[in-house]
Structure 1
Amino acid sequence: MAYPKLTVVNDYSAAAGGGYDAVILIGDYQQYIPDDFSSHVERARQFDRRVGEQALLLTCEVAGGRLITAPTGPLTRDYDDVRQIADAAAAGARIAADAGCSKPLLVVFGVPEEDPRYGQAEAVAYWGFCQALYQPLEAREALGEDKIETVTEVGLVGVVNEDWLQAVEAGKRVARDLCGTEPERMAAPRFAEYCQQAFAQSPVRVTVIDDIQQLQHEYPLLMAVARASLGVERHWPCVVRLEYKAPAAEQTLMMAGKGIVYDTGGVDLKVGGHMAGMSRDKGGAAGVAGFLKTVAEMRPETVNVVAELGIVRNSVGADAFVADEIIAGHSGVRVRIGNTDAEGRLLLADLLSHLRAEAADYPQPQLFSVATLTGHAALAKGPYTALIPNGPARVDKITDRLWEAGEVYGDPTEISWSRREDFSFVRPRTKSDDVLSSNNGPSATTRRGHQFPMAFLSIAAGLDQHGTDSEQPLPYVHVDIAGSGVEGGDWQHGKPTATPVTCFAGCYLHR
């Protein structure tokens, strides 16, 4: 599982003799240009006014004889952010690969020194470079990794920790593979197998729960979603549990990941072409697994991480669950099914209930659910991850810290709030049940369509008993990546972004 090996150098002169075959010059070309490159850029501008306006390949006397201009545009406006550096690095990476380069050097210049938005500019450039060059797992297996991922090394001018940058990229690569791979190659048993291989010989313990009777007893909501898949053995569900125990733990992240390896919508079938791309409905579980991969590489001293990933296919069949069913979850809460296409919150509720029951055994627990949950989040938040905290998480400012990390590390989020209307929306209408899973309309056209699922999860997982007014408050944040999980919002063809690996790594692992 390769990605471009990184070497960090202090300045351009220190890169001499490093075997670099191109320089990718990333920055605002309307400001100053570094002395080592200014004469080459100015000479080229005399013949091509596109230089400094778009990514181009110039031939000149630099490493490898190739200078790739990768302009960011202005960086000082109110709405500019560090993603412009990632975008420029990505454009440069694509040109380098197409030109046959195998070892380019990244040079970032002109970053506003006092602006906290750009405190990790060089790191973001490396991750943007790697994002652009990533090729899907199916392609690598069919065509050969060495044949289609031809850029094997990269240099970076800066003062950064190359082990940290590569640890994050290792996690992002795991997340992309798990999220983006087609539904048979990454069916539930094979998803679990990939995780076992990814964490082999690492400090992360992997446990796969795939006994059907055990799952039916301990994860009844998850198994309702999985019911119609049981007729096909290769589609059988599982729960993948990942555990990292720190040597001197001071806090514990407890994460539930939605891993719907294919979402037909169930009997509330996705029609009108909306089923295409639903092999990516496992992006939440993929992101959590990717974060654990970074944890495995970094081995933090004080942070425990415990994750449960629900890996299920939401199939259609004679035994499919249907709206109006009432199912008691792991927490004992009776859930009335409102729509079978609101399946991800069901398995998350069981996973969160398990984590809630364990929380007292760990220091300073914080709970998270991570999911490609709602079209409403994609509509309301665009390319940003939605964070919805409960009361204790709001008091502890967990979402504030995640937001700050996302801004600096190029994995941005926006905060939404849980309100009384959300809890009213899922209230029981009779004494037959305790909570309603959803309405029977599209989330994108439902008011507060990405906020009310957090209320459902709080109730169905028993977390509503751990608010700020309880004896044992438990901070909980629901993380909806439906708008941020793939490039351009294209769930069928867009490249997975590996969110929220970088955001969580920046918040909890980097010092």
Structure 2
Amino acid sequence: MSFPKVRVFESYAATASGEFDGVILLGDFQSDIPDDFAEFVAQAQQLDARVGQQPLLTPADVSGGRLIIAPTGPLTRDYDDVRNVADAAGAAARIAQQAGIVKPLLVVFGVPNEARYGQAEAVAYWGICQALYEPLEAREHLGEESLETVQEIGIVGTLDETWLEAVEAGKRVARDLAGTEPERMAPPRFAEYCQQTFAHSPVRVTVIDDVQQLQHEYPLLMAVARASLGVERHQPCVVRLEYKAPAAEQTLMFAGKGIVYDTGGADVKTGGHMAGMSRDKGGAAGVAGFVKTVAEMRPETLNVVAELGVVRNSIGADAFVADEIITAHSGVRVRIGNTDAEGRLVLADLLSHLREEASNYPRPQLFSVATLTGHAALAKGPYTALIPNGPARVNELTEKLWEAGEVYGDPTEISWSRREDYDFVRPRTKSDDTLSSNNGPSATTRRGHQFPMAFLAIAAGLDKHGTDSQHPLPFVHVDIAGSGIEGGDWQHGKPTAAPVTCFAGCYLHQ
């Protein structure tokens, strides 16, 4: 797996002459510029008024003779955050690559001494890697070496090289799985990618692909997959990832939505809205990416268990339809409201399995991660939506994730589960126990990204593990529909790898 490796230096003077072929000077150019570069910046500003206002390359007597000036703009306003640093780093990285620089040295300066910028250099590195990432299909066809030419990045600062690369390794896995087209990443090949990724690692990979076993143990998932069964390469699977810590004190349990292509099923997506639906596996991709970072970091006290439901929601004579009543793994009878609300069905069965296992692990916390609703993108814009249940609120899980997201450049916003959400999915007759969805788009439905959390709690049996129960289970639903792809362009945008960095910062970095 190729991406720019990291070397950290305590100062610019500590780098050897000729070791790097360019310097990226990144910061707020209205602040004091480091002495090693101040003269060169001043000279460049005399020739070009854009210097310090936009990213530019200028000749200078620095490593490699090339200085890329990467302004962040102001960083002290109430609404500024560390993504300003990531954006500037990404812009500089593209200039460096176009200029033929293969080993740039990154110097970050002028960052306020505030908590929100506590990981500015790390975020800059990940911003560079995000900008330079090329899709898996392109790398396989044209070769990684020809596309991803930047080999190494030096950073001036006090950083853990292993940590930086472990997070980027996870983000790369998440981008590959989320962004790759639906045939290259059909369920069996998605599973194969995971097996290869975790080979010779402490993560155990189990692939459940026997149709009869899936029908018995994951009935909601298999309803979604029903129309895909006639095409062998589209047949579903559950990919289970397990990392067991030597001295576990806490356990994270993930359900990941891995819809490799979402046609909408019988409620087919029309009007051009099907394009980009190969990215509907972003939740499972993000979970796998986080587990990759776990595999690299090998935490001593943290277990991680994940189940990824990898399914194609196809159109066909055997497709499931609205009005069907399907008994979930939990025993809850689910009335189907819309077949294009398929992801929550997959998640419900996965969560039910995790719920049953939770008592076997110390301090379990459950999460579902999914590109679930257009409403989340509409309501939260480019931010991950976090919706906790009662025990998660008591333990302040969402607040901790929010804080990590702010510091590590993978921001979130918190929503709350309310009684209206449970009322929305209530049964209308005694024929069923819950309704999966209404029959309109989530983006035009009030509380369109909150009420699915209520459905998940009921359909997975987690509503029996609230704060009023004898065995409370903290559960957070994580909707990355707005944060999973750059610019919200689901057909052409680059996957962001959300929420890998947020979870890694929260649980793996002290």
Same fold (TM over 0.5): yes
1:158 aligns with 2:157: yes
For 2:95 and 2:34, how far apart are their aligned partners in 1? 21
Q: Could you tell me how far apart the structure 2 residues matched to 1:270 and 1:54 are?
A: 41
**What's the counterpart of residue 146 of structure 2?**
147
1:209-262 CA-to-partner distances (Å, cap 9, x unmatched) read: 000000000000000000000010000000000000000000100000000000
Matches of residues 33-432 of structure 1 in structure 2 within 5 Å?
33-113=33-113, 115-432=114-431
Return the alpha-carbon distance in structure 1 between the equivalents of residues 442 and 225 of structure 2.
22
- The alignment covers a number of residue pairs equal to 510
The 2-side partners of 1:23 and 1:509 are apart by 30
CA separation in 2, counterparts of 1:17 and 1:199? 38
Deviation at 1:60, TM superposition (A): 1.1
- Letter of the structure 2 residue corresponding to residue 227 of structure 1: R
* TM score, norm. by length of structure 1: 0.99
Partner of 2:494: 495
Deviations 1:376-433 (A, max 9, x none): 0000000000000000000000000000000000000000000000000000000000
Q: Deviations over 1:447-489 (max 9, x none)?
A: 0000000000000000000000000000000000000001001
Large movers: runs of 4+ above 2 Å: none
State the distance in 2 between where 1:191 and 1:285 align.
Answer: 10
SS of the residue aligned with 1:272?
Answer: coil
Cα deviation, residue 51, structure 1: 0.3
Please give the alpha-carbon distance, in whole angstroms, between the structure 1 residues aligned to 2:345 and 2:464: 18
Q: Answer whether contact 2:167 2:500 (CA < 8 A) is retained.
A: yes
The residue type paired with residue 80 of structure 1 is: D
Q: Structure 1 residue 19: deviation in Å?
A: 1.6
Structure 2 equivalent of residue 8 of structure 1: 8
What is the CA deviation profile of residues 105-143 of structure 1, one whole-angstrom value per residue up to 9, with x for unaligned ones? 111000112x10000001000000100000000000000
Separation in 2 of the partners of 1:152 and 1:262? Answer: 34
Paired position in structure 2 for 1:28: 28
Give the drift of 1:74: 0.4
Rounded to whole Å, the distance in 1 between the matches of 2:277 and 2:250 is 35
Q: Deviations for 1:313-347, whole angstroms, at most 9, x for unmatched residues? A: 00000000000000000000000000000000000
The 3-state SS of whatever aligns with 1:338 is coil
State the secondary structure of the residue aligned to 1:311: strand
Name the amino acid aligned to 1:252: T
The one-letter code sitting in structure 1 at the alignment partner of 2:234 is: H
Distance 1:156 1:271 in 2: 48
Report the CA distance between 1:18 and its aligned residue. Answer: 5.7
| SS of aligned partner of 1:46 | helix
CA–CA distance in structure 1, aligned partners of residues 23 and 486 of structure 2: 26
- Where in structure 1 are there 5+ consecutive unaligned residues? none
CA contact (8 A) 2:18 2:64 kept: no
Q: Counterpart of 1:66 in structure 2: which amino acid?
A: R
* Alignment check: 8 A CA contact 2:106 2:153 kept: yes
Displacement after TM superposition at 1:30 (Å): 1.1
2-side partners of 1:419 and 1:509: how far apart?
31
Distance in 1 (alpha carbons) for counterparts of 2:290 and 2:71: 30
Q: Distance in 1 between matches of 2:507 and 2:242?
A: 16
Q: Report SS of the residue matched to 1:30.
A: coil
Aligned equivalents of 1:345, 1:11: Cα separation in 2: 50
Query: How far is 1:17 from its partner?
Result: 2.9
Structure 2 distance, partners of 1:5, 1:338, is 48
Indicate the SS of the match to 1:146.
helix
Task: State the TM-score, normalizing by the size of structure 2.
Answer: 1.00
Q: Percent identity?
A: 81
Distance (whole Å) between structure 1 residues aligned to residue 491 and residue 18 of structure 2: 40
SS of residue in 2 equivalent to 1:44: helix
Q: CA offsets, 1:173-202, max 9 Å, x none?
A: 000000000000000000000000000000
Matched residue of 1:155: which SS? strand
CA deviation string 1:335-374 (max 9, x = no partner):
0000000000000000000000000000000000000000
AA aligned to 2:309 is: G
1:509 Cα deviation after fit: 0.4
